[in-house]
Chain A
């Protein structure tokens, strides 16, 4: 474990060096992600110019949901972005074999291989959104509440990553499962808004099948006085852990089934 942490640090430092070398790219990536996200937030603002509440949720509560989702996704994007490329850049090209012959866990190597700078835009915007909305929520923020919020955000990031890991594993059989990952990832768009606006089947899917509900909505209920979901909200870290375990198990199965393109 300690060895892996040390290793990750070395990988990470190397990546940061590259980033500082190409800092204009960094700024442009940062700005563009920031701007795209800002557009969606401004969209919500325009809608709220015409209404007071959306299904019982105020503007700042919606921003809060959005903020948790953005920060959670940024963790996924900054640290686990390489998962997206397993099919295209590793399996199809045969590069995956390179990972297999190293004395390291291939999944670790894969993840450590890339730090996605564009995710920083999401992180900054998400943090700003959380900061602004937290000030407007009727909630008394104590030290432990902040700790809880951070735990929730990290869990959210792990849920995004776990689901992605699960769907990228199909690449071992179909070379590149990117379209599948993309489709699954797009389900997360539902979680931008309170799940209460959807019909029951959709809510069940977002809670128990592709549990993106836990990436933003359920955690947000803890801090916004929507008390009906406390249990679901509190199991968020457990959900994150379970998803990661299932996804990793599936990944191991896929790894065994893998035969290189050269074969």
Chain B
């Protein structure tokens, strides 16, 4: 009997461990929203608008951007891991394109994350922090499309970082650096329109604002009409461009693998 009680107990521990991870990340995300709420209310204490945005628009922006920002990672670390452990050799023999396989896995994971965490968080943000609905129905639809483009862009970009494992061993340092740059220049902390002019100019020539700032600004109506289409065009351009760079460096890297393989 004792051994079955032990098995019974260990299964509880295992199940609990998985849900504990999930709840830990959910609770931490809710903390983040609470902090944002109070922080921005304090910022708006003495002024009605900041950078042409009122408090309601700002809260809506930062909360949606924070939630969307959680989808700006990718399969890069897995690629780096495969390269480091040599698993890549086996992967390359399999009848698929490894890059596409990693992207498909990543998107699958993000889809379940979206249903499991993003939707509840959006509901929390809507109920307790009164974020507003999209500017218009069109804005809502464009926001969805533009968010998907942003997530794709971030995923492709992440693979390039992972690919660097062919040339450097220390990819985790690069990863943290990448996280910091994406966090800041994607606009998931603060709308790019609040940046000092020089930083805004730099940001315009970088792919990062296409990840979060563009979709969320379409949502709030800060980017609308023809500008919205232009911004989405830029998103598409960046996806194609970075994907091309990824493929080019991929085939470069593969040549290296073959060399190592003799």
B41 neighbours in A (Cβ, 8 Å)? 197
Give complex CA distance A158, B1 in Å: 45
A193 touches B39 (CB 8 A): yes
Q: At the interface, yes or no: A187 with Cβ under 8 Å from chain B?
A: yes
B176 touches A198 (CB 8 A): no
Residues in B1-23 with C-beta less than 8 Å from chain A: 13, 16-17, 20-21, 23
B170 touches A28 (CB 8 A): yes
B46 neighbours in A (Cβ, 8 Å)? 51-53
Q: At the interface, yes or no: B45 with Cβ under 8 Å from chain A?
A: yes
Q: At the interface, yes or no: B92 with Cβ under 8 Å from chain A?
A: no
A193 neighbours in B (Cβ, 8 Å)? 35, 38-39, 42
A194 neighbours in B (Cβ, 8 Å)? 42
Q: At the interface, yes or no: B32 with Cβ under 8 Å from chain A?
A: yes
B194 neighbours in A (Cβ, 8 Å)? 46-47, 49-50
Give complex CA distance A54, B28 in Å: 24
Chain B nearest CB from A32 CB (Å) reads 4
**What are the interface flags for A34-62 relative to B under an 8 Å C-beta threshold, 1 for contact and 0 otherwise?**
01101100110011011111110000000
Q: At the interface, yes or no: B95 with Cβ under 8 Å from chain A?
A: no
Give complex CA distance A127, B232 in Å: 43
B21 neighbours in A (Cβ, 8 Å)? 179
Q: At the interface, yes or no: A228 with Cβ under 8 Å from chain B?
A: no
Given contacts A51-B46, A51-B50, A180-B20, contact A202 B179 (CB under 8 A): no
B184 touches A54 (CB 8 A): no
**Nearest opposing residue in chain B for A87, CB measure:** B17
Q: At the interface, yes or no: B262 with Cβ under 8 Å from chain A?
A: no
B180 touches A186 (CB 8 A): no
**Nearest opposing residue in chain B for A195, CB measure:** B38
A198 neighbours in B (Cβ, 8 Å)? 38
Residues in B170-186 with C-beta less than 8 Å from chain A: 170, 172-173, 176-177, 179-180, 183-184
Residues in B66-80 with C-beta less than 8 Å from chain A: none
Give complex CA distance A179, B170 in Å: 26
Other-chain residue from B28, B42, B184 in contact with A43 (beta carbon distance below 8 A): B184
**Nearest opposing residue in chain A for B178, CB measure:** A32
B190 neighbours in A (Cβ, 8 Å)? 43, 46-47
Size of interface on B: residues with Cβ below 8 Å to A: 38
B45 touches A35 (CB 8 A): no
Given contacts A43-B190, A174-B17, contact A50 B50 (CB under 8 A): yes
Residues in A179-206 with C-beta less than 8 Å from chain B: 179-180, 182-183, 186-187, 189-190, 192-194, 197-199, 202
A55 touches B42 (CB 8 A): yes
Q: At the interface, yes or no: A244 with Cβ under 8 Å from chain B?
A: no
B195 touches A46 (CB 8 A): yes
Q: Which of B35, B46, B177 has the most CB of A within 10 A?
A: B35
Q: At the interface, yes or no: B122 with Cβ under 8 Å from chain A?
A: no
Give complex CA distance A175, B20 in Å: 12
Q: At the interface, yes or no: A19 with Cβ under 8 Å from chain B?
A: no
B195 neighbours in A (Cβ, 8 Å)? 46
Give complex CA distance A194, B38 in Å: 11
Other-chain residue from B50, B170, B180 in contact with A36 (beta carbon distance below 8 A): B180
B39 neighbours in A (Cβ, 8 Å)? 193, 197
Given contacts A50-B50, A55-B42, contact A180 B24 (CB under 8 A): yes
Give complex CA distance A210, B218 in Å: 39
B184 neighbours in A (Cβ, 8 Å)? 39, 42-43
A46 touches B196 (CB 8 A): yes
Q: At the interface, yes or no: A25 with Cβ under 8 Å from chain B?
A: yes
**Nearest opposing residue in chain B for A196, CB measure:** B42
Q: Which of B21, B50, B51, B184 has the most CB of A within 10 A?
A: B184
Q: At the interface, yes or no: A31 with Cβ under 8 Å from chain B?
A: yes
Residues in B205-232 with C-beta less than 8 Å from chain A: none
Q: At the interface, yes or no: A147 with Cβ under 8 Å from chain B?
A: no
- Sampled A-B contacts (14; CB under 8 Å): A25-B170, A36-B180, A39-B184, A43-B189, A46-B190, A47-B43, A50-B43, A50-B194, A53-B46, A175-B17, A179-B23, A187-B31, A193-B35, A193-B39
Q: A24-B170, A47-B190 are in contact. List 18 more A-B contacts (CB 8 A).
A: A28-B173, A31-B177, A36-B176, A39-B189, A42-B184, A46-B190, A46-B196, A47-B43, A50-B43, A51-B47, A53-B46, A174-B16, A175-B13, A179-B20, A193-B39, A197-B39, A198-B38, A202-B34
Residues of A near any B CB (own CB < 8 A): 24-25, 28-29, 31-33, 35-36, 38-39, 42-43, 46-47, 49-55, 174-176, 179-180, 182-183, 186-187, 189-190, 192-194, 197-199, 202
Residues of B near any A CB (own CB < 8 A): 13, 16-17, 20-21, 23-25, 27-28, 31-32, 34-35, 38-39, 41-43, 45-47, 50-51, 170, 172-173, 176-177, 179-180, 183-184, 189-190, 194-196
